[in-house]
Structure 1
């Protein structure tokens, strides 16, 4: 496939605006992670509270993705995206004006920011419905690469906070929020054709299919690992190696950037060699590196390890969304919400468990080991289903499985 095919096969302005919308939303979604060291110092939070503070927005995004997935199929992706962006801008305005006075306030604020994380259930189906099956890997990878927004968080937010205070950062975030909202409202479009309205019973129906459970689990590990680490990296580099908030943000940005740009690469590779084969290799790489990282305490070595972990998990995200439209093409709105929910739950688990591990044992190693085990469980699951997938629904699609 050539990149020029993106212009001729679908609607590239929607693909671009979906990327922009998801990019900004991801930036807001992980904002508490980027500001975590500074907010924690102001409020005097424990290690466990720090982990929970950065984990709650991920949990909010997981739960709210189900709601936005329903809305996408009922009122359209564009209208849903507009409503979600208004809610996020209102939350940022409140945080800017009133601030976060205590730990409980950070949890409430973080959960509302989960609306930004739920944009996943809007941007991906809106872009994907414009393109044919054999392009889904790269298209959804490009749209999903908007998670590079967390890189901007880690680079910019700590620096702004060091000069103006972390509360002012919420006000600064309103500038790209308004720009993104205007561009999205003007240029994005819903794909032509009728969309069947989904109900809560559709979620129940899909959850009766074991393939839906497998996809949710795989995304719990891959996206959960990616976003959980992205949210915790700032706290990790600061607490483990004594870096300043700004320098911790720089290295967090490097790790997250690698994972973000790897997503469309994973989708493109899966289009060529098949998503199952790609995922098996990538889960093994991520799980192995996490085990090594858990036993080493050397800044540069750990940095290289986590660059590799983020890259592997980011590519795996793209691989999953190369397969998902082939299996659940008629239910992408609902399935994007379901697997997105799984990914959010995985991120919540990882970020909170790292904080609890640090508080209980003085190190994040136990949290890393536990998540590496999940990576290898995912590999085992893929080995169990690959033959059935390839000989059933895999034979009905033009894409590589």
Structure 2
């Protein structure tokens, strides 16, 4: 296979539009995390309330991915994505012009921002349907690198909040999202080979397949760890080490950039050596460094290094999971993207909220991080249990040209 064969297949403008839409959507999806220190100070929130505030968009985004997955199959990806973007723009306008003066209004905004997190269920099928099996890891890795939007939120939101006030940050976000919406409508194109829409009841049938549950669990650890940390690390660095909101945002951005930018690499590596092998190694690294982080390192610089390595592993694992999913569920990729993405969001909700409750109840973040490190070990054990069956059934050379 020639090195440049990937760019001779598929539809590059759609791949770019998918990435851009995903990127900016994820930026606003986790926006409450980088703003949490300022919001909590003004509203007098407890550690548990801060944790739930940043976790709410993750949960609603997770649940709405099922809805978006259905819309993708019935309306096609481009139209579903356009609807989602209009809703998010309206939510940002309400947040900017409304009165966000209590905890309930912030949670309401968090639920609305969940629509942005549901972009996952649109951007990946939009790109995936244009590419053959041997290029799925690379295509979905590039589209999925839109995770980097979470880094932009951490990098810029605290500084903008300091300069203009945190509520005005929501209005400023309308500008780049509006530009991306126009670009998306101009460049994105639905693949000609989209599967026929299914009756709603058929979407439940996929849950009868145990492989669907395995993929949901695996992604709840990789993406759940990534998104949960992306939403929580600004609070963590501010509380644990006394860093200012802006500096804590910079530290968070470094961690998130690491995790998001290696997602395409995860897909590429999985295409070359197999998704199972790639994912297994990433679980080992993630579990080890999350456990190290749980010990409460004395130095904020050392903590930064540990979290960067953990995020590198989780981001690579995200790409590896979605090298495998289209091989197993190519005809059901719309609904499976929604289901697997939902599980990832729920994992992120669990991690972000548990860190807040861990801090409030025990006075440290150790318990929350330790439990999630244990989940990574459990995922490794589960993957080891199914890998032989996968490689001799749907992942065999007779069934696919991709490496499993």
SS in 1 for 2:191: coil
- The answer to whether structure 1 residue 184 and structure 2 residue 192 are counterparts is no
Partner of residue 348, structure 1: 349
SS in 2 for 1:195: coil
Partner of residue 333, structure 1: 334
Contact 1:68–1:119 (CA<8 Å) still a contact in 2? yes
Contact 1:6–1:12 (CA<8 Å) still a contact in 2? no
What are the Cα deviations for residues 272-303 of structure 1, in whole angstroms up to 9, with x where unaligned? 11111111110011001111111132212111
SS in 2 for 1:390: helix
What are the Cα deviations for residues 145-195 of structure 1, in whole angstroms up to 9, with x where unaligned? 001001111111111100110000000000001100000011100001342
Give, in whole Å, the separation in 2 of the partners of 1:66 and 1:340.
8
Give, in whole Å, the separation in 2 of the partners of 1:194 and 1:62.
24
Give, in whole Å, the separation in 2 of the partners of 1:307 and 1:387.
32
Partner of residue 245, structure 1: 245
Change in Cα spacing, 1:2 to 1:295, as seen in structure 2 (3 Å) is farther
SS in 1 for 2:296: coil
Partner of residue 214, structure 2: 214
SS in 1 for 2:131: coil
How much has 1:3 moved relative to structure 2? 6.3
| 1:275-290 correspondence runs (5 A) | 275-290=275-290
Partner of residue 383, structure 1: 384
Give, in whole Å, the separation in 2 of the partners of 1:198 and 1:311.
37
Give, in whole Å, the separation in 2 of the partners of 1:294 and 1:352.
16
Contact 2:226–2:315 (CA<8 Å) still a contact in 1? yes
| 1:231-270 correspondence runs (5 A) | 231-270=231-270
Contact 1:70–1:199 (CA<8 Å) still a contact in 2? no
Partner of residue 399, structure 1: 402
How much has 1:320 moved relative to structure 2? 0.3
Partner of residue 39, structure 2: 39
Give, in whole Å, the separation in 1 of the partners of 2:9 and 2:281.
31
How much has 1:5 moved relative to structure 2? 2.9
Give, in whole Å, the separation in 2 of the partners of 1:4 and 1:45.
52
Contact 2:68–2:338 (CA<8 Å) still a contact in 1? yes
Partner of residue 163, structure 1: 163
Change in Cα spacing, 1:282 to 1:106, as seen in structure 2 (3 Å) is same
| 1:2-401 correspondence runs (5 A) | 4-298=4-298, 299-395=300-396, 396-401=399-404
Give, in whole Å, the separation in 1 of the partners of 2:306 and 2:291.
10
Give, in whole Å, the separation in 2 of the partners of 1:104 and 1:205.
37
Contact 1:198–1:334 (CA<8 Å) still a contact in 2? no
Contact 2:129–2:193 (CA<8 Å) still a contact in 1? no
Give, in whole Å, the separation in 1 of the partners of 2:357 and 2:321.
29
Give, in whole Å, the separation in 1 of the partners of 2:272 and 2:250.
34
Write out the 4+ residue segments of structure 1 that deviate beyond 2 Å after TM superposition. Answer: 1-7
TM-score by length of 1: 0.99
How much has 1:2 moved relative to structure 2? 5.8
Give, in whole Å, the separation in 2 of the partners of 1:160 and 1:242.
20
How much has 1:228 moved relative to structure 2? 0.3
How much has 1:357 moved relative to structure 2? 0.4
- Higher deviation after alignment, 220-229 or 2-11: 2-11
SS in 2 for 1:393: coil
Give, in whole Å, the separation in 1 of the partners of 2:198 and 2:178.
30
Change in Cα spacing, 1:245 to 1:3, as seen in structure 2 (3 Å) is farther
How much has 1:346 moved relative to structure 2? 0.2
Give me the CA root mean square deviation: 1.0
Contact 2:286–2:314 (CA<8 Å) still a contact in 1? yes
Give, in whole Å, the separation in 1 of the partners of 2:272 and 2:212.
23
| Structure 1: stretches of 5+ with no match in the other structure | none
SS in 1 for 2:329: helix
Give, in whole Å, the separation in 1 of the partners of 2:62 and 2:54.
14
Matched positions, count: 401
SS in 1 for 2:401: coil
Change in Cα spacing, 1:194 to 1:319, as seen in structure 2 (3 Å) is closer
How much has 1:6 moved relative to structure 2? 3.6
